[in-house]
Amino acid sequence: MTDAAVRAPAGPVWDEAVGLLRSADEVALACHVGPDGDALGSLLALAIGLRSLGKRVVASWGSEPFEVPAQYAFLPGLDLLTPPESFPAAPELLVTFDTGSLDRLGVLAGNAKNAAHVVVVDHHVSNTRFGTVNLLDTDAAASALLVDELLRRLGVPIDADIAACLYTGLTTDTGSFKYQATTPAVHGVAARLLETGIDHAAIAREVWDTKPFGYVKLLGVLLGRATLEDGLVWTWSTQADFAAYGVTMDDIEGAIDVLRTTVEAEVAVICKETPEGSYAVSMRAKGATDVGAAAVSLGGGGHRYAAGFTSEADLATTMDRLRTALRRPRP
């Protein structure tokens, strides 16, 4: 590969994925529920690329309500999105992005089970290899890097629209190029994307630095609740909080990056109450603790430095289970 940013999988797997995409007239694309910048950017980048090849494309994710997170509303290709209820029930070819397991597809999991061929594009260590073809590189900093390579093998030029999507995925999963997975090769890919003329400063502003005032107020509440214990700093939010400050769960995604600056803590955790009453638990670590392994043990997934899971238990029980998982020795 030109940038050496993706080392796996082996050539025959790439060939099989490329062959399926080239022969298909229509391609269904899906990413995980509650998409972040890497999931949505990867999905839209390939959608735009396939459209340029004359393919019919349908793209979605299995969250209800089906809404694009505000910080990604600038992305090109949003016109290619369709609500999950309009997604093909049994696609001939389905490509998934940044999705470690079938259940992470939400209401589209059944559609994936009915698909004739499923190409999985992902970089999560916890991936269950649920595809008929698995483009999986657990060393890649973002799924966007695999999509970049897939587009190269398809012969699709990277224009500014595709580059904006890929760059969003890359900056999101590297924490704006701060996380451990940021390598010289990753910077090389970013440089090539910038050469298309994208406004990286505008992308950074939208993704990282544009929040409603209610977020600022709620952030103060979340930090006021923060508890520090044995190298763990954690806090929580409720549905009542979101209603009181006029924000959504998506709006507070960046709060954990403030929490993780705590010098005394190795692991930062935010538990966000969902409309269904469960907790969406986000974790970040500085390297000594593998939060990805802890998340997998609790039914979630992720990486050593960033992971998450959903808990149906109450807040106290959720945190007790998480403390136990974080203390458990890893092989």
Q: In residues, how long is the chain? A: 331
- For the stretch 73-94, pLDDT in tens is 999 999 999 999 999 999 999 9
The CATH class, in words, for 11-207 is: alpha beta
Q: Is 121 left (phi over 0), alpha (psi -120 to 50) or beta?
A: beta
CATH number of 213-327: 3.10.310.30
> Which residue has better confidence, 181 or 201?
201
Residue-range domain boundaries for the chain? 11-207, 213-327
The pLDDT score that the predictor gives to residue 65 is 86
> How many CB atoms sit inside 10 A of residue 24's CB?
19
Q: Classify the C-alpha dihedral 150-152-153-154 as positive or negative.
A: positive
Per-residue pLDDT band at 2 (split at 50, 70, 90): very low
Per-residue pLDDT band at 331 (split at 50, 70, 90): low
Q: Classify the C-alpha dihedral 137-179-278-105 as positive or negative.
A: negative
Q: What is the 3-state composition of the chain as percent helix, strand, coil, each rounded to the nearest 5?
A: 45, 20, 40
Query: What residue spans of 128-212 are helical by DSSP H?
Result: 143-154, 160-173, 184-194, 200-208
Tell me the average pLDDT across 5-21: 83
> How many CB atoms sit inside 10 A of residue 67's CB?
12
Residues forming a β-bridge with 270: 235, 282
The pLDDT score that the predictor gives to residue 176 is 93
- For the stretch 215-242, pLDDT in tens is 999 999 999 999 999 999 999 999 999 9
- For the stretch 262-315, pLDDT in tens is 999 999 999 999 999 999 999 999 989 999 999 999 998 888 899 999 999 999
- For the stretch 151-192, pLDDT in tens is 999 999 999 999 999 999 999 999 999 888 899 999 999 999
In angstroms, rounded to a whole number, what is the distance separating the alpha carbons of residues 192 and 98? 22
Residues forming a β-bridge with 227: 234
The pLDDT score that the predictor gives to residue 1 is 37
- For the stretch 108-162, pLDDT in tens is 999 999 999 999 999 998 899 999 999 999 999 999 999 999 999 999 999 999 9
pTM, full prediction: 0.91
